[in-house]
Homo-oligomer: A and B are copies of this chain.
Amino acid sequence: MARSRAGIETRRRILDAIRELLALKGPEGTTLKAICDQADVQPGSFYNLFESKEQAILTVVREAIEAVDPDPGHEGIDTMADLVQAYIRFMEDDPSLARIYISIAVGGGVSDTRLEGRVRRHHRERAARFADAFAREHSDLPKDRARRRGELLLAALNGLALSGLIDDEFDFRGHALELLH
């Protein structure tokens, strides 16, 4: 753990390096040497701050999982527009984290049983949040139908994000906004 100014700064540089490498080169390219080169740090310094490479990567992965969910405090009162806008912001402001997030969701990268369960739990909570927002705006619909619509909207956003990651020219923002109708 970092306890001094220098340590905190080094820790940040390392996490930045991992984030960039994961997004750019994938898990296979995120070697200790690559991380250390990118962060301009020696292995010994890395292991002074992190228990293992795996643990450091998991820190970034957790960050990605959390970043996709906006304002946890707003849970229970956010509108569909809020949720869609938040996703757009996530994709535009932090494409590296977005790529990592979708990547773990599929399980193609860091495959770890604990992580798999965490992703599933997170996904279900997120689906519920979408379902609630939708139900609030369409109180006429039966509860079950609202839930399914929430699931569908979340899936559509994830799919649009996927298209955006595959194809730089894809108009994620436009499509996402259209979803609101």
Contacts and interface: CB of A to CB of B under 8 A. Distances in A.
Stoichiometry (number of copies): 2
Interface stretch (A77-85, A132-140, A155-163): A155-163
Contacts of A107: 26, 99, 103, 165-166
SS of A interface (majority): helix
A119 interface: yes
A150 B162 CA distance: 15
A123 B167 contact: yes
Contacts of A156: 152, 155-156, 159
Contacts of A152: 156, 160, 175, 178-179
Contacts of A170: 151
A111 B99 CA distance: 13
A29 B109 CA distance: 10
B159 A111 contact: no
A123 B29 CA distance: 24
Contacts of A110: 26, 28
B159 A160 contact: yes
B155 A163 contact: yes
